[in-house]
Chains A and B, each alone.
Chain A
């Protein structure tokens, strides 16, 4: 039952977007977010929506998948919309009403902005494996190494953490079954009793996590791992022509958004 939890939302695929360099995708997401926040008028919103839709269709991610990811955010979206509707001054929709036309317009834009923001970042995580993401992040943050920021260590910790999430979930599942076989009850009783019932799971889980960490450290050291200095990678990230195209499109989008903002469209 725990296995059904999807962690890391990567959907393997073979679209152009999947094959883009993770660095390109990371930068383009930032470009997308900056562009999105320049949008003021309906025309610019329409363009952002069109761009997002185009990216979705190119990366073969269906709307239903995105919608599933949006569900947990529903509360925030509704709350923001409500606040904007009720707390914006302007011309009332009907005389005496607190709701104004301006409020409705602003709420609609706010919803659009949040949905687009989430969709844009989802497109990144849906089309990029966690490992590729950390690789891209390490290279992008590379210059920070000059400032003594331990970029390599941070990213390798991140990829290891990601690597071990499924393992630990499986382990939790096993330990739960084993304790259930000894009559442990995780579902009934008061909150305190149920919290206490977690102890037989947490203790072995921590013990095994430490054991695994220890074993991994020994395995890495015995293969002469000693940090990032002078390390090469098995999969070299190389920018291809498609990355160049993506950058050009991204730049055009950004410039366009700034121009539209200038004219307040």
Chain B
């Protein structure tokens, strides 16, 4: 299975030049198989650099990355083959579509794996199913579809490799609320049905709070916070100090507490907020 272990990871861009910049430093993390992880952080906090180490797109300046117990940077072959195990969907992936048909574009990854045609076709169909792309679209050009559809096709292109770890960098950026929800639901379905590890890099605290079972907060190249949403959002002030937003429900709860309403427990979803307010009302505090 594909447990990810990161030890003492450090990455320096343009080392040895005047433009040298330490992007991440001293990252130690273990992500067990099947976990749904939300990766939070500012622009420039190093989260994108970090995820590119997990499939060996970037080589660490120091430290190791182990996937399934094996050092992925051991040699050229492991660096190449880890891409099948760890699928990475970049930000705005629709800009990377290039094939003439939707089918061929989704098939690009499996074809690079050297699979047989019928296996490729099966995987393309399966991946398209996960992201809700209709088979009628298979012969169309991906460039003439809508933004949301393009995004889903691009995600399917990575899912078609059946990665045990699926990483998505801001998968919902620039989509309308409905598109966002659909894509997040698609990702959840993939995780539930395949038991894959999913790591979502996101700015959207509400999504992160709702879906992830573990949140990792990056700040200036270090892991600032790591825990369940409950643990993280019970310390909202730290998030705000780092310069991140908190979920709507947490913000409302903070404002209420400031005004003297005693709400109990960690609050980061609307349901929790509602329940806490009703409890407080029952106790006669407000």
A residues whose Cβ falls under 8 Å from a Cβ of B: 3-4, 174-175, 177-185, 199-201, 203-204, 207-208
Contact = CB atoms under 8 A, between A and B. Distances in A.
Nearest to B88: A181
B146 interface: no
B161 to A, nearest CB: 7
Interface in B1-23: 14, 17
A175 B14 contact: no
A180 B95 CA distance: 14
Given A174-B90, A181-B83, A185-B112, A200 B52 contact: no
Interface residues of B, number: 25
Contacts of A4: 14, 17
B96 A175 contact: yes
A44 to B, nearest CB: 39
Interface string B93-105: 1011110000000
Contact of A199 (B17, B90, B98): B98
Contact of B83 (A174, A175, A183, A201): A183
A183 B88 CA distance: 11
B60 interface: no
Contacts of B14: 3-4
A181 B112 contact: no
B98 A180 contact: no
Given A177-B90, A204-B97, A183 B57 contact: no
A185 B80 contact: yes
A178 B80 contact: no
A180 B88 CA distance: 10
Contact of B95 (A3, A182, A208): A208
Given A177-B57, A185-B80, A185-B112, A207 B52 contact: no
19 contacts: A4-B17, A174-B90, A179-B96, A180-B57, A181-B57, A181-B87, A181-B90, A182-B108, A182-B157, A184-B108, A184-B112, A185-B80, A185-B112, A199-B98, A203-B98, A204-B96, A204-B98, A207-B95, A207-B143
Interface in B22-78: 52, 55, 57
A180 B83 contact: yes
